[in-house]
Structure 1
Amino acid sequence: MKIPHSISFAFSLSLVLLVTACGGADEKKANKQPNIVFIMSDDHAYQAISAYSDKLIETPNIDRIAEGGMKFTNASVTNSICAPSRAVILTGKHSHLNGKIDNNFPFDTTQMTFPQLLQQAGYQTAMFGKLHFGNNPKGFDEFKILPGQGSYYNPDFITKKEGKITLTGYVTDLITDMTLNWLKTEREPEKPFFLMYLHKAPHREWLPALRHLPEYTKRTFPEPETLYDDYEGRGTAAKTAEMNILKHMFWAGDSKLYPALVEKLNLEKGRNTIKGFEREVGRLNPEQRAEWDKYYQPISDDFEEKYKKGMDDRALMAWRYQRYMQDYLGCIAAVDEGVGEVLDYLKENGLDENTIVMYTSDQGFYLGEHGWFDKRFVYEESFRTPLLVRWPGVIKPGAVNTQMVQNLDFAPTLLTAAGVKVPDDMQGESLVPLFEGKTENFRKAAYYHYYEYPGVHMAKRHYAIVTEDYKLIHFYYDVDEWELYDRKKDPNEMKNVYDDPAYADIRAKLHKDLDALRVKYKDSKELDQTYIEKSGKPEDRKQ
């Protein structure tokens, strides 16, 4: 049937108007500044996220960010320790320039941080959870943060509007509740928002939510192949570090043996290390403590029986590793649940399509690799950190990137995404081109520098250059040692090939490139010496 011209014209005009309107709406949406949800956990190893590996735990909600966005497999930190890492993230500058080289040095509060710039550009800003340094973070319309390390059970918070408060409950759940409450009741819909959702977990001493104790205290986890490492083939640094699960963990605070049993069996042999247990478990109210005792008292009783029958060092290491994983991974279970709640809220309220969601940790962590816990080293498990980013319409779902990105890049990335000028003194690179699949002209090598020695865990001072293929490290201060690792052939970093003639050309090139990076990032021997002198006497540094 032939359509009358008048009807055909009207239909065509309507179609044109509809397409124009839709195009205008799409353009308006494209030009709108994205919301940003920055999620960071403390000491969350990439090995404990199932998007990277499902050997230890399933994290279905954190994995949703990877499934809907990009997973970075070579993301890393510039200084693997809590407060300095956070300072790098906020300033976009290496530790030697922002001044926060270790957990002891004060943060230079005159430094401009990227949340301040977002706030100045019209973003509504909020921070909930663990900052780790400073009680009055700049650039936030609202904040509720833990004092220092914070507590797992019934924690205190420093707030912008209410002063110091103490809340009943589990810290991960409370931080999630604060975050959701802000989104529901305080967010101004006409403004883009920047939200920092920062977990204490799974930081030492690793206390899971009570609801996860029935499952996780009963689970058995596979051991890493280097759990019983003897450090042959490595230098002084690996052999003298004090982060061995068997030798250096605390029996009460870390392994959760009751203090009376620790004293009875003389497990600490002169060390007074029950304070971690008393500080954390002592915060439980009577009802919570009764529930906690249901699971940890039998663990203590069972260990006493086994120990009295005889346990050699290998058996003790195996037992302590399982206790460590049960508590560490139990903490992550609550983090994953909280992330799921936040992602669900964004989706259910139509916010997910114009919101960047970034999940990361302040550094990596050893989960028994080389017999270790903790971080600090440029060795793989503490240097490498999880990074998952979702940005609908920009990042293709399920994308994977292998380039040498660092936490140094977060500030310029988020400023660029928001359309805010990146200050000239920021040293990171925007990841936005990588989000769009443009991988050329990005850095080929990452720079790393660790300072806190002598200090907790006695990881020696060192700096390094890391590429996708190799890692060259210089340990200095009380030693002068070089190590070179082939990351592809020796992913466990078991053999230092620095003196291997087969790597002579590679070693020479890496030395040259490392020198160039030191110049590029304005680091130097003179600065090294300055920070050594400012750190005070060696006997005052070890804590």
Structure 2
Amino acid sequence: MKVLLLSIDSLRRDFLSAYQDTPTVLDYEVNTPNLDWFAEKATVFEQNYAGSLPCMPARREWHTGIQEFLWRPWGPIEPFDDTLPQLARKQGILTKLITDHYHYFQHGSHGYYEDYNGFEFIRGHETDAWKTTPQHPNGRLLDQTTNARTDPPDSVQFMNRVQYARNIANFDETDEEDFFAAKVFSRTADWIAENQEWDDWFCFVDSFDVHEPFHCPEPYASMYTDEDPRDASLPTWPYYGRVDEGQSELSDREIDFVKSQFAGKVTMVDHWLGTVFDTLTELSAWDDTMVIVTSDHGYMLGEHGWIAKNIMPIYDAIANTPLFVWHPESVRNDDRVSSLTSAVDIYATILSALGVSVPDQTHSQSFLPLLEGKATNHREWALYGMWGSSVNVADGQYTYMRPCNPDEPTYCYSTTMMDAWGYFTPTEPKQDVESGRFLPYTDTPVWRFEGPSFEQHDDIKLYDTDADPEQSTNLAGNHPAEQQMEDLLADALQVLKAPENQFERLGLTPPEAK
């Protein structure tokens, strides 16, 4: 079996025709003919939820089957992890990573690409530390990606965004082949063609698009707006936060423009993804290739007054992610699955498809039985969140968001002592630490040290996503499902053997203590 996993970073469901019942922030349709075609061919999963957020925590779930946000934030592969490419290689299966997702190559994110037989890194996206010239890049591009109101030229924010302008200084904004989606998916198509003699392979294609900055070449930049996309006053790289205040403040006109550039990127990604699908067709490779298309999370575009991700409540626009799966032997192709699935399940599903045993001590459950027609249900709950903040659970009808006590610490458990919030920069080793066998999924001793909690919201949130898919009416306070969902969250934490501190900071009673 050959398995192709395609991640499209930040892709929202409501921009895809396959999820046309999803409430949308748009008053126009986004052109995605290739994903539309694939959705008709494959199985569409309607209730797939993210897990550990954001970027690298999601990738540890995919690579190791560990739902890490209860124990650890952004960090490296651990020595005790059984990574998907490593397990596949031990069975003689060729493994490959193709990506422009530069976080794999930053401090604190090591261990992910090293287990592949080969990897290719397309340089230059976002703040990838690549180019150092020109010293003074395109002023108009800087105006569109920085905030003159809040960013002094010597600030870290400004310098980070200058990096992107330097990286793409030689790009032709009328030539889409200069841009990242074109490079990532063209290289993927070539690699598939070059490696067809292998009976078994696993290829992970991790496209950083449609992630910000939402800087598009033509024709995509003008496709969904009447504005001049090169108007220096219109932003292509919003700041995370409230749209009505502070650094992230945006007018209605600016929000509409951001939506149009996000949509343009979606269409660009779709176009170049089509080259991969075309290659599979030309090689008659669909008969022995499993293809999975998904995303790590979505991105808020003004809903509930928020832009971007991470710091706000984790609404379904972020958490309920697209998932399409083609399996040559599936009885559910050209069908839809309403069963609840979670991002962490991709690990066990791919290993099972490759004929590789799934390690016992993981949180991943293969949904291959759904595709084979051997099961109709998969999960009772899907847990998701960011380390140090609220913990959320979905049961397929309700979403429940439980805030944390910001005065109660969160503990980090890791074999490294990196600062839990120093994602990208080296930090001083921790002094106030203890070691022990704290993790339920390994006997390896790790360091345990204290970190902060932070509020994404200060109230319990409960939504009936069947009746209220926009999550506009918070039912918490007087709804009979509230206790049911609180109990479900507590049960899920117990099943995962979450640290006792998680119950304390969430104000929950462990089920065995009731």
Q: TM-score, normalised by structure 2?
A: 0.69
**SS of residue matched to 2:275:** helix
Cα gap change, 1:469/1:212 in structure 2, threshold over 3 Å: closer, same or farther? closer
Match of residue 73 from structure 2: 101
Matched, 1:484 2:462: yes
Partner in structure 2 of residue 434 of structure 1? 370
Cα distance 1:359–1:175, how it changes in 2: closer, same or farther (>3 A)?
same
- The answer as to 2:288 corresponding to 1:354 is yes
- Equivalent position to 1:70, from 7, 31, 43: 43
State the partner residue of 1:141: 117
Q: Name the residue aligned to 1:205.
A: 213
Measure how far apart 1:242 and its partner are: 5.6
Partner of 2:18: 51
CA apart distance, 1:129: 1.1
1:92 aligns with 2:65: yes
How big is each residue's C-alpha offset from its partner over 1:473-517, in whole Å with a ceiling of 9 and x where there is no partner?
Answer: 2101327642222222222222222211xx23x222222222111
**In 2, distance between residues paired with 1:484 and 1:530?**
19
Aligned counterpart, 1:335: 269
TM alignment of 1:498-513, pairs within 5 A: 498-500=476-478, 503-504=479-480, 506-513=481-488
1:189 deviation in Å?
A: 0.7
Q: Which of 390, 393, 398 is matched with 2:326 structurally? A: 390
- Confirm or deny that 1:170 pairs with 2:179: yes
Higher strand share: 2
SS in 1 for 2:202: strand
CA distance change for structure 1 residues 363 and 413 in 2, over 3 Å: closer, same or farther? same
Rounded to whole Å, the distance in 2 between the matches of 1:38 and 1:250 is: 34
Structure-2 separation of matches of 1:148 and 1:101: 25
Which has the larger share of helix? Answer: 1
The aligned residue for residue 174 of structure 2 is: none
- Among candidates 241, 244, 258, match of residue 243 of structure 1: 241
Distance 1:198 1:522 in 2: 31
Residue 194 (structure 1) aligned with residue 202 (structure 2):
yes
Cα distance in 2 between the residues matched to 1:344 and 1:154: 32
Residues 464-475 of structure 1 aligned to structure 2 (within 5 Å): 464-475=392-403
Question: In the alignment, does 2:8 pair up with 1:80?
Answer: no
CA distance, structure 1, for counterparts of residue 48 and residue 248 of structure 2: 31
* 1:35 equivalent in alignment to 2:2: yes
Q: Alignment partner of 2:358: what SS?
A: coil
Aligned partners of 2:179 and 2:217 also within 8 Å: yes
| CA RMSD in angstroms, aligned pairs only | 3.1
Shift of 1:208: 1.2
For 2:227 and 2:380, locate their aligned partners in 1 and report how far apart those are by CA, in whole Å: 41
Quote the offset at 1:147 in angstroms: 6.4
Counterpart selection for 2:357 from 421, 441, 445: 421
Q: 1:243 to 1:152 in 2, by over 3 A?
A: same
What does residue 255 of structure 1 align with?
none
- Distance in 2 (CA, whole Å) between partners of 1:182 and 1:530 is 48
CA distance in 2, matches of 1:508, 1:527: 18
Partner of 1:25: none
CA distance in 2, matches of 1:389, 1:151: 32
Q: State the 1:174 CA deviation.
A: 1.0
For residues 360-418 of structure 1, the C-alpha deviation after alignment (integer angstroms, 9 at most, x for no partner) is: 11112223322322233332111100101111231433210112101110000011111
CA displacement, residues 97-147 of structure 1 (integer Å, 9 cap, x when unaligned) = 7x5524xx4443542211211122122111111442346613311111256
CA contact (8 A) 1:36 1:194 kept: yes
**AA aligned opposite 2:467:** K
Contact 1:96 1:527 in 2 (8 A): no
Which consecutive unaligned segments of at least 5 residues does structure 2 have?
133-166, 172-177, 229-238, 407-454, 507-514
The CA distance in 2 between the partners of 1:135 and 1:148, in whole Å, is 19
Structure 1's unaligned 5+ residue stretches are 1-33, 157-164, 221-240, 252-315, 453-460, 532-543
Write the letter of the residue equivalent to 1:247.
E
**% identical aligned pairs:** 23
Describe the SS at the equivalent of 1:422.
Answer: coil
- Say if 2:72 and 2:387, in contact at 8 Å, map to a contact too: no
SS at match of 1:191: coil
Number of aligned positions between the proteins: 391
* 8 Å Cα contact 2:49-2:343 kept in structure 1: yes
Contact 1:413 1:429 in 2 (8 A): yes
What residue number does 2:497 align with? 522
How far apart are the structure 1 equivalents of 2:78 and 2:129? 31
Counterparts of 2:500 and 2:308, CA distance in 1:
27
Report the alpha carbon displacement of residue 95 of structure 1 after superposing the two structures with TM.
1.2
CA distance in 2, matches of 1:108, 1:146: 25
Alpha-carbon spacing, 1:368–1:112, altered in 2? closer, same or farther (3 Å): same
Q: 1:100 to 1:199 in 2, by over 3 A?
A: farther
Q: Give the conservation status (yes or no) of the 8 Å contact 2:39–2:324.
A: yes
For 1:127 and 1:317, locate their aligned partners in 2 and report how far apart those are by CA, in whole Å: 40
CA separation of 1:346 and 1:100: change in aligned 2, threshold 3 A: farther
Amino acid at match of 1:49: L
> Does the C-alpha gap of structure 1 residues 207 and 395 become closer, same or farther in structure 2, counting only changes over 3 Å?
farther
Please give the secondary structure, in 2, of the residue aligned with 1:37: strand
Change (3 A) 1:414 1:118: same
**Alpha carbons of 1:138 and 1:153: their partners in 2 closer, same or farther (altered >3 Å)?**
closer
Matches of 2:222 and 2:463, distance apart in 1:
42
1:493–1:409 CA distance, 2 compared to 1 (3 A): same
Q: How far apart, in 1, do the equivalents of 2:253 and 2:11 lie?
A: 22
Give me the whole-angstrom Cα distance separating, in 1, the residues matched to 2:4 and 2:117: 15
Say if 2:45 and 2:336, in contact at 8 Å, map to a contact too: yes
Structure 1 residues 171 and 153: alpha-carbon distance in aligned structure 2, compared to 1, 3 A threshold: farther
> What residue in structure 1 maps to residue 89 of structure 2?
119
Q: Quick one: distance in 2 between partners of 1:352 and 1:38?
A: 14
**Letter matched to residue 50 of structure 1:** S
C-alpha deviation, 1:58, in angstroms: 2.1
1:447 paired residue number = 383
Q: What TM-score, normalized to structure 1?
A: 0.66
**C-alpha distance in 2 between matches for 1:403 and 1:214:** 38
**1:152 Cα deviation from its structure 2 partner:** 9.7
